[in-house]
Amino acid sequence: MASITLKNVVKRYGSGKTANQVIHGVTADIADGEFIVIVGPSGCGKSTLLRMVAGLEEISGGEISIGNRVVNDLEPSERDIAMVFQNYALYPHMSVFDNMAYGLKIAKLPLDEIKARVDKAAKILEIAPFLLRKPRELSGGQRQRVAMGRAIVRQPQVFLFDEPLSNLDAKLRAQTRLEIQKLHRELGITSLFVTHDQVEAMTLAQRMMVMNGGVMEQFGTPEEVYNRPATTFVASFMGSPPMNLLKEAPGGAKGQIFGIRPEHLDITTTGWELQVEAVELLGAERLVYCLLGAERIIIRTDEHLAAPAPGSTIHATPRAERVHQFDAGSGKRL
């Protein structure tokens, strides 16, 4: 296992005035054994950053270290990492056992050690009964576990996951998230996990990097990112539904953006006067969509509270201790 250090890492395509810079000076220290999630919308640079750590993309500036080695000029095979991709990348003509053992055979490990490693990984991932099957005989979730097993048997210093759950349905994603958490507890290998799904980020990460346009907007625990977002982008991206961000909140200061999460607005008899647009029932909770003047607001309420009728007028009060303030120009937290 090993730590990972990123020092002012830059990636640009092309050169001179026509160069397109897609990663803007990312700096982060990742401890040995940490599980880090890189999260952000499509095109934010999260997979590019992961691929630079893997050695699949050259870096244009800065420094990447794995353990005590600077790996800028090392080939992927020399970095002692294992990668799990979105599309599984299994050999269709090989059995599950042979898919998992392939890298070890190339490395010319003794056959008894290869079998021991594959059997151990298959037991951890609960795919031992499928070792003689071909990938086409497996479900999507089972194929993804085979791909993870192939990475595990390598016994690398670092695991790199590139949106590995994107091809699974919602139920399988939830189940596989639990398996990945269990896997990390058992193996304790330093891991970088890329996703655009904030639920995956919140549930898996010990710490997360929130990326936007090639910039790391915040690096912290899920609790820090959710409860004290560093920018309006983080506030709006992390959370479903997103934080309400108001330019003209009653009592708000000019030149500041007022932030309040939907669950921290209470329907009351006095306070902000809102016009109800729609109500969504989501099992144990309701989302009430309202207008405060020209600005849209979402309130999250419990199922036991009576739902207001669309078109009606209600009042709501933000919880003072849960209010966030951001600079209107930079979007940064005040």
Q: What is the C-alpha end-to-end distance of the chain, expressed in Å?
A: 38
Closest among 73, 87, 39, 53 to 157, alpha carbons compared: 53
- What confidence score (pLDDT) does residue 301 get? 93
Sign of CA dihedral 49, 51, 55, 57: negative
- What confidence score (pLDDT) does residue 140 get? 86
- What confidence score (pLDDT) does residue 25 get? 97
**Residue ranges in the chain modelled with pLDDT below 70:** none
- What confidence score (pLDDT) does residue 304 get? 82
Residue with tokens 């009576």: 306
* Tokens found for residue 334: 């005040």
- What confidence score (pLDDT) does residue 213 get? 96
pTM score: 0.91
- What confidence score (pLDDT) does residue 66 get? 96
DSSP string, 2-19: --EEEEEEEEEES-GGG-
Query: How many whole angstroms separate alpha carbon 158 and alpha carbon 155?
Result: 9
- Say how many C-beta atoms besides its own lie within 10 A of residue 88's C-beta: 20
Domains of the chain from N-terminus onward: 4-234 (3.40.50.300), 241-327 (2.40.50.140)
- What confidence score (pLDDT) does residue 87 get? 81
The answer to whether the CB of 108 falls within 8 A of the CB of 101 is no
- What confidence score (pLDDT) does residue 176 get? 86
315 CB-near residues (< 8 Å, 6+ apart)? 267, 268, 269, 270, 271, 272, 273, 274
Q: Which tens digit of pLDDT belongs to each residue from 212-221?
A: 999 999 999 9
Query: How many whole angstroms separate alpha carbon 135 and alpha carbon 133?
Result: 7
